[in-house]
Amino acid sequence: MLIPKGFLLGFSESGFQFEMGLPGSEDPNSDWWVWVHDHENMLSGVVSGDLPENGPGYWNLYKVDHDLAFKLGMNCARIGVEWSRVFPKPTRDIRVDVDRDEDGNIVWIDVNDVVLEKLDSVANADSVNHYKSILEDWKSRGGTIVLNLNHFTLPLWIHDPIALRSNGSSKAPSGWLSEETVVEFAKYATYIAWKLDGLVDLYSTLNEPNVVYTAGYIMVKTGFPPGLLSIKAATRAAKHLVEAHVRAYENIKRITRKPVGIIVSLAAIESIRQEYEDVAGLAKTLYNYSILDSITLGSSMITGSREDLRDKVDWIGVNYYSRLLVKPSKTPGFFDIVKGAGLYCNSKDVSITGRPCSDMGWEVYPEGLSKVLEEVWSKYRKPLIVTENGIADSRDVYRPKFLISHISHTVQALKEGVDVKGYLHWALTDNLEWAQGYSMRFGLVKVDYETKRRLLRPSALLFKEIAESRDIPDDMDLY
């Protein structure tokens, strides 16, 4: 299957998971830093005990990684910026005008030139310049840059999950539970666009906001901060994430005409029986589409109907790893997830339908990717990019077929009329997989965390063949 000219093939990375690893690269000013260093979390098994300062070292070794990506035929990089590096200290004293509607919702934040100049005076100039150097290095190779402004982490002055767990939201920086975070994020995001726009091709405001509020406040066993079980808190955080995206979008668009999007985690959601299709529809609405409905249609279960949120996105990033198999719940208005399929399998096991499962316990289900792309395109008619897709596979046993099958389904969706612009693999190198630590190996390139040496896995050479030939092998026995 031929890949059209201009189709993006590349990699995605984030700051916290990749940057640290060598002396001088540490960033102790984020919520995730204190979360994974917390001894209570380690003793209880909430986090692995692996620490980011022992990571792959992209902050220092970005040229090495860019060399590898370029040699593998990649033409696009999704690069993350860490808010806590740029503004390690509070910016709340730099005031902005905030407009509200009759219900008290934030409907406008004025991040004007005066505010940007003041932010520039307190920003960490070394960090800003270092990010500029990273972007310049990739651009010098002719690559496209998708700049992602937030990938889970928040500055500690915005969110202190340990203090929040101990003291309650009234006494600790409470992250997305606070309206202040909406205002401060708009300021930060606009500032980054103001400083780096000349090097950026596309922006993404937030990575997987649907994971942020579900993992932090509902599925608390995932090990995400603050790990507080509360539907009310999850709903509040979700609302603020929507508002943060929209208010940042509006201000970034005052600076640039470049596309501003959002990245969401989307599973292929299916019912265990055909007669339960309404349950699958409910699950899609709650998990896949609540954020997107808010910022495209201006109406969702999160926000209600709000015209100020309508059509505030230019493109949508799709992070896809597997499916969710669902069935009716005994609780009205909810659904239950079927264990043994999709994202709920055992590590290195076989799913209930006989499919291989990754080291993370995620079922390999490539046809779900084309289904998701077709659904999202049909529903919203916004350009799409597969911004994450990959497999935790330390032995590199499943990754070759995984690559071929998932890129094939992406290109097939394109051929069937879906406006999908590219496929970005997660990840170029191994990385810190949040609470799971370094045991989960997603990289096309293996990292020796002691020496920081990079070693190409066989699947990396397969990616190179696909990228350079612009052709996907069709003679492999796929799943």
Domains in the chain, start-ordered, CATH in brackets?
8-268+281-321+357-469 (3.20.20.80)
pLDDT over threshold 60, residue 477? no
Of the pLDDT bands very low, low, confident and very high (cuts 50, 70, 90), residue 275 is confident
Alpha helices of 197-225 — where are they, by DSSP H?
209-217
Tens of pLDDT along 395-436? 999 999 999 999 999 999 999 999 999 999 999 999 999 999
Active site residue 250: no
Q: Using CB atoms within 10 A of its CB, is residue 434 exposed (0-12), middle (13-18) or buried (19+)?
A: buried
Of the pLDDT bands very low, low, confident and very high (cuts 50, 70, 90), residue 333 is confident
* Averaged pLDDT, 387-397: 98
Residues with Cβ within 8 Å of residue 426, at least 6 apart in sequence: 11, 12, 319, 388, 389, 390, 442
* Averaged pLDDT, 214-224: 96
Phi and psi for 173 in degrees, rounded to 5? -60, 120
The single residue of 184, 243, 388, 433 carrying the catalytic annotation is 388
- Terminus-to-terminus CA distance in the chain, angstroms? 17
pTM: 0.98
* 33 closest CA partner among 139, 162, 134: 162
Active site residue 208: yes
CB of 196 closer than 8 Å to CB of 188: no
The single residue of 208, 243, 270, 433 carrying the catalytic annotation is 208
Find the helix packing angle between 58-71 and 125-139, rounded to 10°.
Answer: 10
pLDDT over threshold 90, residue 15? yes
Tens of pLDDT along 127-157? 999 999 999 999 999 999 999 999 999 999 9
**Amino acid at position 149, single letter:** L
- The pLDDT assigned to 345 comes to 98
**For residue 262, what is the enclosing H or E element?**
strand 260-265
- The pLDDT assigned to 332 comes to 81
